[in-house]
Structure 1
Amino acid sequence: MPGTRPQSRGVRTDLLGIYLNDHLAGATVGAGRSLFAARSHRDPPFAEPLRNLACEIGEDRASLLRIMRSLGVPERRYKVAASGAAERLGRLKSNGRLFRRSPLTLVIELEFLRLGVEGKELGWRTLRSLADADDRLDEQELDGLIARAERQMSTLEELRVRAVQDVLLSG
């Protein structure tokens, strides 16, 4: 209508709360799985990078919680508890071996972690795209989290390729 002011677009905090709690559930799974992988693999080319990744993934989860608090988004503990339990149950999956780990376990874990980090990066990008509309979102922090997720994906891909070659190539 002529003469009316355009409405400013605000962040839908109700939907954002659901979105961020879903990402928190994923971050809980990722933090647990990365810590488990770091503790399980002692091979020199994998051990230190996995420990570093587990530490960073835990820090990223803490960053998400801090961002949620700054936005006034409450943590839905039932989602966190359910995702943590699902991650622990996922460790019990059949891998073709009864009493020891399959050589494929590392490949699958690295693929799972890479997918999780990709999802996390998309979450950071979503928040970054909202930063202009909500000054509680720190653009520089989000840019740093995006860059770190990109580095994590690169590291996981390098480890994954090495594991694939170690496990699936004969000779």
Structure 2
Amino acid sequence: MSHATGTRHSPASVPTSTRRTDTQLLSVYLNDHLAGATAGTDRARYLARSCRGTDLGPTLEAIAGEIAKDRRGLTDLMHRLHIPARRYKVCAGWAAEKLGRLKANGRLVRRSPLSTVIELEMLRVGVTGKIACWEALRQLAETDERLDPDVLDDLLSRGHRQLHTLEELHREQAASTFRTAEPHGQGAQS
């Protein structure tokens, strides 16, 4: 509210130089993303281990390493912003990832090829969310000197590369998983 006139200013009408970061809301937001990053890091490592020895293995190992590095980047940013990590949210992210492994995907004893398709989809969703977080922080970096725009640009660039790679892997895996050999002696039906 303006002291002289008693009128309220919308956030958009307040000069950029006088806007302050709402640390309470940012804390909730970043801790939610930290929970997701925890689940995503564990999921990426699990998928990379599950695909070791396959054509997907080396690419997934690299992506899992990058996702873990991005999680550390998030905790570094939170530290710079003086936002503590909420342990209960981190634990919730960890537990959610573990529970997500219980889905059988059509097989009870051994890993189903469908598992890889679904896990790639889950990683794509996670990376998309991470990119949205980096975009929000990049915008905030315009007015908050605690955030380095160059660091956020690097995180954004890496996130977009990860998403592109995961989309390609998903297309290939879905095609090979759902493609079946045509039964002998049967042609395509019109």
| TM norm structure 2 | 0.85
> Please, what is the CA RMSD of the aligned residues?
1.6
Where does residue 65 of structure 2 map in the other structure?
Answer: 55
Gaps of 5+ in 2: 6-13, 182-190
Q: Report Cα offsets for 1:12-59 as digits up to 9, x if no partner.
A: 011000000000000000000000000001353200000000000000
Where does residue 106 of structure 1 map in the other structure?
Answer: 116
Gaps of 5+ in 1: none
Where does residue 11 of structure 2 map in the other structure?
Answer: none
Where does residue 22 of structure 1 map in the other structure?
Answer: 32
Deviation at residue 89 of structure 1 after TM alignment: 1.5
Deviation at residue 9 of structure 1 after TM alignment: 1.1
**Distance in 2 (alpha carbons) for counterparts of 1:44 and 1:63:** 29
Q: Moved runs in structure 1, 4+ residues, more than 4 A?
A: none
Q: Report Cα offsets for 1:101-156 as digits up to 9, x if no partner.
A: 11111100001101100000000000000001100000000000000000000000
Match of 1:116 among 122, 126, 140: 126
SS in 2 for 1:44: coil
**Distance in 1 (alpha carbons) for counterparts of 2:169 and 2:77:** 30
- In the alignment, is residue 40 of structure 1 matched against residue 34 of structure 2? no
Deviation at residue 170 of structure 1 after TM alignment: 1.9
Deviation at residue 97 of structure 1 after TM alignment: 1.0
- In the alignment, is residue 97 of structure 1 matched against residue 107 of structure 2? yes
**Distance in 2 (alpha carbons) for counterparts of 1:116 and 1:126:** 15
% identical aligned pairs: 50
Opposite residue 57 of structure 1, the aligned amino acid is I
Larger Rg: 2
Aligned residues: 170
